[in-house]
């Protein structure tokens, strides 16, 4: 049997589950249900990443052992996954992997030994002992080079991590190094020969240019005296294995690499290579370090790595607990059923790009696409079959002599056109889904719903039912709608397993939907005379005003400020220990999470100093409030009746381009700006100018006496959405 192995990242066990962990697990779960229908034997891994100095410190502060601490986080994760129907019991993940499992220790040691025995392509030993001198961010679990940290305000202080704004740890100690610098050519050849290894393409290009820029050797151990909560280096217990070497290896130890028990139970041989789904912020670890380790160890490489974008809040800001704009998973679950959340995740975010997540948007999608769309089609069709056909699926046939009458009633005598449209939609759906284009696949399906909705409103079965001579036509209309619903149940099953099972039962179907390959669908598969099941609404209509006011109230009473972004505070940790930070990281690898602000850290930098004499000095915490991003001008035109204003649509690497107005019409020809990369203040409150909402601001220098604007731009190509810091 063909196999399919898909993994989510293993989530840091340093704080409660977050939207990112729910999201990737939902995507992986849908993908595996899809592959299961296609006849693959599937295996899904999710879990927690439990070692490292960060967790060691949090546990110390809380006065518990690191394992006690991570056990409590794991309980939270398992509770969350069960609540959203993603655990094994609901047909979800096959393993909740923990890096504290003894079998994982065995596998990591085995991989280390293999790498340590290996020679690089240049014929040198892949691991060597050296001395590491530099800076390390405990929260990123990564070493930082000069261009990745902020210089301290006071000489002698530690620099700050650009992402967490926390002081870095000075590391000056013996360490094993992995000779990554010898693998650049091999990696570039890999990206070249397997263009699908990194997806989407924009991410692949980023990695290629990073590797082309040259690779430095990587410190892959720490002294045990500095980091004790880790897997020891084989044969050298004075050293601890670097947490990313440990964490990445989970993907193979979970299925049996380096340990017989798992090999017998699951099967490395059987399931590897697997597909990794990750957020774009951890791309480098998965597409540079991980393949290099595997190449060195002589282990087959993964099938590929797909990097998805980040969920931002409704105003396009990154989510963080400090900003108070995270999504509380308990709240999400309280107000929305699991299939609504799954549908929203897959429909709203174009996989690979950033998307916006807000409770209001979930209500809107739930009402428009699900309650009024799929749900309404299903309930009206089935209710009419109950009422007009005694609950038995009618025949779809129209006798020769009634064809003219059918035409008059506005329906084709043959179901051929609808059947072909369905086949076409099915083929597109399957192809798009397999290609990670989930949002497009769903759009395709909804075009079928619109078509059948129209068929019903045109044919008006409730009118046909009044006239006995129209019975056959009435039957044909209802048959077509019901047969379409049968196809939709099969196609949408991976996305909405609960609702489609219910629809399946309501259509009187008894076969196993979980293993039904869409390729087997044939028009006419719904047998006339089938007794339909009890009609139940698939998606209740949600009361937006009520839900939003309840969420707001809950937010306020919990004492956290509500933001414009309909936000509620981050989920609370079940135990009494409050982890110090949320892993709800920002939109890009480089995003700053101003966590430290609350703790009163010193944050001013060179930027502040350079401004001296011009304006009042600000600290870095003020600067990080301004979100500057790279935007590409997609369209530009003059605003009617205004001499000054240009109206742009600008791609900021988000799900949809933004509309931005700028008062530069006297100095720039709009057509000439299309395709240019500009700088946008991305978190400016939207405001209306001449009837158009401007969703950001364009940056320009103001030169000469009359303040002529000169747009800020770049000297080399930069990805859309990249943050300026």
Q: Give CA separation, 383 vs 380, 477, 523, 570, in Å.
A: 5, 13, 22, 42
Task: Tell me which H or E stretch contains 278.
Answer: strand 275-279
Which residues make beta-bridge pairs with 689? 692
Helices (H) and strands (E) in the chain, counts: 25, 27
Q: In terms of CB distance, is 577 or 679 closer to ligand MSP? A: 577
Give least dist CB 12 to ligand MSP, A: 4
Give least dist CB 148 to ligand MSP, A: 16
CA-wise closest residue to 19 among 353, 363, 320: 320
**Quick check: helix, strand or coil at residue 157?**
coil
Distance CA 588, CA 19 (A): 16
Give least dist CB 288 to ligand MSP, A: 13
Q: In terms of CB distance, is 176 or 245 closer to ligand MSP? A: 245
Give least dist CB 238 to ligand MSP, A: 25
Give least dist CB 629 to ligand MSP, A: 16
Footprint of ligand MSP on this chain (CB under 6 A)?
9-12, 18-21, 23-24, 49, 247-248, 278-279, 281-282, 310-311, 319, 583-585
Q: In terms of CB distance, is 232 or 302 closer to ligand MSP? A: 302
> CB 485: neighbour CB atoms within 10 A?
23
- Determine phi and psi for 644, rounding to 5 degrees: -95, -35
Give least dist CB 19 to ligand MSP, A: 6
Q: In terms of CB distance, is 52 or 167 closer to ligand MSP? A: 52
E-state strands within 99-216:
127-137, 142-144, 149-150, 160-161, 169-178, 198-199
Give least dist CB 583 to ligand MSP, A: 3
Give least dist CB 26 to ligand MSP, A: 11
**Cis, peptide link before residue 273, omega less than 30° from 0:** yes
Give least dist CB 620 to ligand MSP, A: 22
> CB 238: neighbour CB atoms within 10 A?
11
Q: In terms of CB distance, is 286 or 402 closer to ligand MSP? A: 286
Q: In terms of CB distance, is 311 or 479 closer to ligand MSP? A: 311
**Quick check: helix, strand or coil at residue 44?**
strand
What's the helix, strand, coil split of the chain in %, to 5? 45, 20, 40
CA-wise closest residue to 568 among 319, 310, 315: 319
Q: In terms of CB distance, is 109 or 445 closer to ligand MSP? A: 109
Give least dist CB 593 to ligand MSP, A: 10
Q: In terms of CB distance, is 47 or 508 closer to ligand MSP? A: 47
Give least dist CB 553 to ligand MSP, A: 25
Give least dist CB 22 to ligand MSP, A: 9
**447-455 LR contacts (CB < 8 Å, sep 24+):** 448/421, 448/422, 448/484, 448/487, 448/488, 449/373, 449/374, 449/377, 449/488, 451/418, 451/421, 452/377, 452/418, 452/480, 452/481, 452/484, 453/373, 453/376, 453/377, 455/411, 455/418, 455/480, 455/481
Please list, residue by residue across 624-655, b when 16 or more beta carbons sit within 10 angstroms of its beta carbon and e when fewer do: beebbbbbbbeebeebeeeeebbbbbbbbbbb
Distance CA 136, CA 145 (A): 9
HSE, side-chain direction, 13 A CA sphere, residue 478: 33
> What is the distance, to the nearest Å, from the Cα of residue 348 to the centroid of all Cα atoms in its chain?
10
CA-wise closest residue to 300 among 327, 332, 268, 326: 268
The angle at the Cα of 361, spanning 355 to 365, to the nearest 5 degrees, equals 105
Do residues 267 and 239 lie in contact, with contact meaning Cβ atoms separated by under 8 Å? no
Q: In terms of CB distance, is 232 or 583 closer to ligand MSP? A: 583
Give least dist CB 24 to ligand MSP, A: 6
DSSP string, 651-681: E-SSSS-EEEEES-TTT--HHHHTT-EEEEE
Q: Give CA separation, 603 vs 163, 336, 391, 407, 661, in Å.
A: 12, 40, 70, 74, 33
Which residue has the CB atom at the shortest distance from ligand MSP? 279
Q: In terms of CB distance, is 99 or 596 closer to ligand MSP? A: 99
Give least dist CB 52 to ligand MSP, A: 9
Give least dist CB 679 to ligand MSP, A: 23
Give least dist CB 282 to ligand MSP, A: 5
Q: In terms of CB distance, is 52 or 256 closer to ligand MSP? A: 52
Distance CA 632, CA 654 (A): 11
CA-wise closest residue to 288 among 204, 187, 198, 193: 187
Helices 290-297 and 184-193, axial angle in degrees (round to 10): 100
Q: In terms of CB distance, is 20 or 107 closer to ligand MSP? A: 20
Q: In terms of CB distance, is 422 or 587 closer to ligand MSP? A: 587
Q: In terms of CB distance, is 288 or 310 closer to ligand MSP? A: 310
Q: In terms of CB distance, is 20 or 721 closer to ligand MSP? A: 20
Distance CA 471, CA 527 (A): 18
Give least dist CB 480 to ligand MSP, A: 40
> CB 701: neighbour CB atoms within 10 A?
10
Q: In terms of CB distance, is 22 or 464 closer to ligand MSP? A: 22
Q: In terms of CB distance, is 283 or 398 closer to ligand MSP? A: 283
């Amino acid at each position: 049997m063909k196999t399919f192995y898909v993994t989510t990242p293993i989530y840091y066990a340093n704080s409660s589950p977050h939207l990112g962990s729910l999201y990737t697990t939902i995507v992986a779960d849908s993908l595996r249900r899809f592959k299961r229908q296609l006849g693959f034997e599937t295996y899904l891994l999710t879990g927690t990443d439990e070692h490292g100095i960060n967790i060691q410190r949090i546990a110390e502060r809380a006065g518990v052992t690191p394992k006690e601490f991570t056990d409590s986080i794991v309980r939270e994760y398992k509770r969350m996954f069960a609540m959203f129907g993603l655990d094994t019991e609901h047909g979800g993940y096959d393993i909740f992997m923990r890096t504290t499992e003894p079998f994982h220790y065995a596998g990591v040691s085995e991989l280390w030994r293999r790498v340590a025995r290996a020679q690089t392509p240049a014929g040198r030993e892949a691991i060597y002992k050296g001395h590491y001198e530099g800076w390390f961010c405990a929260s990123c679990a990564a070493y930082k080079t000069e261009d990745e940290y902020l210089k301290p305000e006071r000489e002698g202080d530690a620099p700050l991590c650009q992402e967490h704004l926390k002081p870095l740890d000075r590391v000056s100690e013996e360490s094993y190094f992995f000779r990554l610098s010898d693998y650049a050519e091999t990696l570039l050849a890999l990206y070249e020969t397997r263009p699908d290894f990194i997806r989407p393409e924009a991410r692949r290009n980023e990695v290629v240019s990073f590797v082309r820029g040259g690779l430095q050797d990587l410190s892959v151990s720490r002294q045990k005296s500095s980091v004790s909560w880790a897997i020891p280096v084989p044969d050298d217990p004075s050293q601890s294995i670097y947490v990313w070497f440990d964490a990445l290896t989970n993907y193979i130890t979970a299925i049996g690499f380096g340990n017989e028990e798992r090999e017998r139970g699951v099967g490395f041989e059987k399931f590897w290579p697997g597909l990794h789904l990750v957020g774009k912020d951890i791309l480098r670890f998965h597409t540079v370090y991980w393949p290099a380790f595997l190449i060195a160890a002589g282990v087959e490489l993964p099938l590929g790595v797909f990097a998805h974008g980040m969920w931002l809040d409704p105003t396009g800001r990154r989510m963080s607990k400090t900003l108070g704009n995270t999504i509380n998973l308990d709240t999400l679950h309280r107000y929305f059923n699991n299939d609504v959340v799954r549908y929203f995740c897959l429909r709203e975010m174009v996989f690979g790009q950033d998307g916006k997540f807000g409770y209001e948007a979930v209500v809107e999608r739930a009402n428009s696409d699900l309650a009024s769309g799929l749900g309404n089609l299903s309930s009206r069709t089935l209710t009419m079959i109950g009422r007009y056909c005694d609950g038995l699926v009618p025949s779809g046939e129209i006798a020769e002599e009634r064809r003219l009458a059918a035409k008059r009633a506005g329906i084709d005598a043959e179901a051929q056109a609808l059947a072909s449209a369905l086949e076409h939609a099915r083929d597109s759906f399957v192809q798009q889904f397999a290609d990670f284009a989930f949002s497009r696949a769903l759009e395709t399906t909804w075009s079928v719903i619109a078509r059948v909705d129209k068929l019903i409103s045109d044919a008006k079965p409730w009118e046909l039912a009044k006239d006995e001579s129209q019975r056959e036509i009435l039957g044909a209309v209802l048959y077509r709608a019901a047969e379409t619903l049968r196809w939709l149940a099969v196609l949408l099953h991976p996305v909405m397993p609960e609702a489609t099972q219910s629809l399946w039962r309501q259509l009187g179907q008894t076969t196993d939907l979980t293993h039904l390959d869409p390729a087997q669908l044939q028009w006419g598969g719904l047998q006339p005379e089938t007794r339909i099941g009890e009609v139940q609404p698939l998606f209740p209509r949600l009361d937006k005003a009520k839900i939003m006011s309840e969420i707001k109230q809950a937010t306020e009473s919990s004492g956290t400020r509500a933001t414009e972004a309909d936000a509620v505070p981050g989920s609370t940790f079940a135990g009494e220990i409050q982890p110090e930070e949320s892993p709800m990281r920002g939109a890009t690898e480089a995003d700053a999470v101003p966590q430290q602000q609350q703790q009163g850290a010193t944050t001013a930098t060179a930027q502040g100093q350079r401004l001296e004499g011009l304006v009042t000095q600000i600290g870095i915490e003020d600067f990080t409030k301004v979100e500057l991003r790279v935007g590409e001008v997609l369209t530009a035109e003059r605003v009617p009746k205004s001499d000054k204003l240009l109206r742009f649509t600008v791609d900021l690497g988000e799900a949809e381009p933004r509309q931005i107005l700028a008062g530069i019409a006297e100095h720039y020809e709009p057509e000439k700006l299309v395709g240019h990369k500009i700088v946008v203040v991305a978190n400016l409150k939207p405001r209306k100018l001449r009837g158009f909402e401007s969703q950001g601001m364009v940056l320009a220098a103001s030169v000469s006496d009359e303040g002529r604007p000169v747009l800020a731009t770049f000297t080399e190509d930069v990805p859309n959405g990249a943050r300026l810091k």
